[in-house]
Amino acid sequence: MVRLRLAAALRRERPADPLRDQAGDITSTDDPRYSGPGAPLPAGNINGGERTWSRRQHLARRGEVEGVRGPYDGPVTDPTREPWEADHDLPPEEARARLGSAFPGLRAGDVRYLAEGWDFRVFEVDGWAFRFPKRAECEQALAAEAALLARIADALPVPVPRYEFLAKGIGGYRKLTGQPASRARAGWAADFAAFLTALHGLPVGGLKLPVRGAETSPAGLSERLARSLGRVERALEPGVLAACRAVVEALAPPPSPGPPVVTHDDLYPEHLLVSADGDAVTGVLDWGDAALGDPAIDFFVAGFCGGDRFLESVVRRYGREADAGLLARARHGARFMAAIHIVDGVRMKRPDYVDDGIASLERLGLLRSHG
C-alpha cells in the first residue's frame, strides 16, 4: 500500500535544491529515503550533491492508493515486481570487488554509491561514474549505448558520456558537470537548439536503432497518460487531477509526416545537464532509449522546463527545416511530460517528480500557482 503524506497546501516558491550527482536520483546513502545499498530506487540521471525535500513534495491527499502500479511499455521479466527493481543488492564493497574483477588495472579508491535508475546503479570512483546493470538484460543495452555514443559523440556540440571502461556488463566514464535542466533558469535555448540540430541531422545508416511509431505519437502519449492516471487518480488533489485530465482530453495533433530522424527519445530534465546560471547545456545523459522517430519528442523538455515561450524560442533557433506541426506536437508533449511526472511521482513515491510536474503545469498555464 502506498501512503502519501500530503502537504496542506501547494506553494509557489521552491526552496534551494542542491546539485545532484550523475546518473541517478538519490545521491547519498544518508538520504532519508535510501534504505541501504541496492534498495530499489527509481529512475533518472542527475548530477550534484545531497537532495532536500521540496515544499511541494506531495499533493494534498484524498485517500490511499492500494497496489499502485504504473504502466511500463517495455518487457517485464517478472510481472510481479516493478520494472525498476533489481535482481540483487549491490553494497559498495561488492561494487569494489566487481570493479577489480572487470578492470584489474583500475585502482579503486573511494567507491561511493551515487544513484540508481530504472536499469542501473551508479558508483563514483575518483571522478569516474561506473554504471552497474540491475538486471541481466540490461548488460546488452549498456554495450549498445556505449557503441552508439562512440560513433556520434564527436558530431554533437555538447558533452555526452564517453565510455572508457566497459567489461562484464559494467561501464565507466568521466562524470559530466552540470545540474538537471529543471533546477536552473531556462536560458539554454541556443545550446539546446544547436544540439538538436546536430542530433537530428545525423545520418541514420548503420546506427541500428529501433524505429518509434504510434506509441510515441501525440495520440499514443495521451493514451499512455490516460492509463497511468487511472491508477493513481485517487491520490491526487482535485485541481491537479483536473489539470492532468485536461492533458488527456486535449485534442492530440496529427503525427509527424516526415521521415524519422535520430532522437535521444528520453530527454527528461534529469538527463539534460545545464550550467548553474542556466545559460549553457553542459551534458546529455542516458542514451539507452535512442531511436529513429519524430524529432518533436526531443523538444518536450524545453516546454517542460521553460513553458511555451521558451519552447518556441528553441524551435525558432532549430537549424533544420521543421514541419508545420512540430511545434504543436512539442507543446502537446511538454504537457504530457508534466502530467506523467506527477503520475510517476505518486507511483514511485518520488516527491521530487511530483514537485517538478506541478511546477511545469503552472508554467504551461494548466494549473494555478499556489502562493
For residues 280-285, give the mean pLDDT: 97
Percent of the chain whose predicted confidence (pLDDT) is above 90 = 64
pLDDT tens per residue across span 295-344: 999 999 999 999 999 999 999 999 999 999 999 999 999 999 999 999 99
Using CA atoms in the order 33, 238, 43, 300, what is the torsion angle rounded to 10 degrees?
Answer: -140
The predicted structure's pLDDT at residue 68:
32
What are 316-320's contacts with CB under 8 Å, separation 24+? Answer: 316/193, 317/189, 317/190, 317/193, 317/194, 318/193, 318/196, 318/197, 319/193, 319/194, 319/197, 319/201, 320/197, 320/200, 320/201, 320/295
Task: Decide if pLDDT at 36 tops 60.
Answer: no
Three-state secondary structure of 15-73: CCCCCECCCCCCCCCCCCCCCCCCCCCCCCCCCEECCCCCCCCCCCCCCCECCCCCCCC
Over residues 286-301, the mean pLDDT reads 96
pLDDT beyond 70 at 43:
no
- For the chain, which domains are there? 179-363 (3.90.1200.10)
Beta strands 272-274 and 179-180, pairing class: antiparallel
What does pTM read for this prediction?
0.78
pLDDT category of residue 18 using cuts at 50, 70 and 90: very low
| pLDDT reported for residue 47 | 29
Mean per-residue pLDDT of the chain = 80
Q: Lowest-confidence range among 78-82, 104-108, 173-177?
A: 78-82
* Window from 60-69, 139-148, 239-248 with minimum mean pLDDT: 60-69
117-136 pLDDT, tens digit each:
778 898 999 899 999 999 98
Note the pLDDT of residue 319: 97
Distance of CA 285 to the CA centre of its chain: 9
The residue assigned the cell 585502482 is 107
* Cα 206 from Cα 209, distance rounded (Å): 9
CA dihedral 242, 2, 181, 336 (to 10 degrees): -30
Whole-number pLDDT of residue 64? 30
Q: What is the pLDDT of residue 34?
A: 30
Instruction: Categorize the per-residue pLDDT at 109 as very low, low, confident or very high, splitting at 50, 70 and 90.
Output: confident
Q: CA–CA separation, 49 vs 30, rounded Å?
A: 11
pLDDT at residue number 219: 97
The pLDDT confidence band at residue 368, using thresholds 50, 70 and 90, is confident
Radius of gyration of the chain (CA): 20
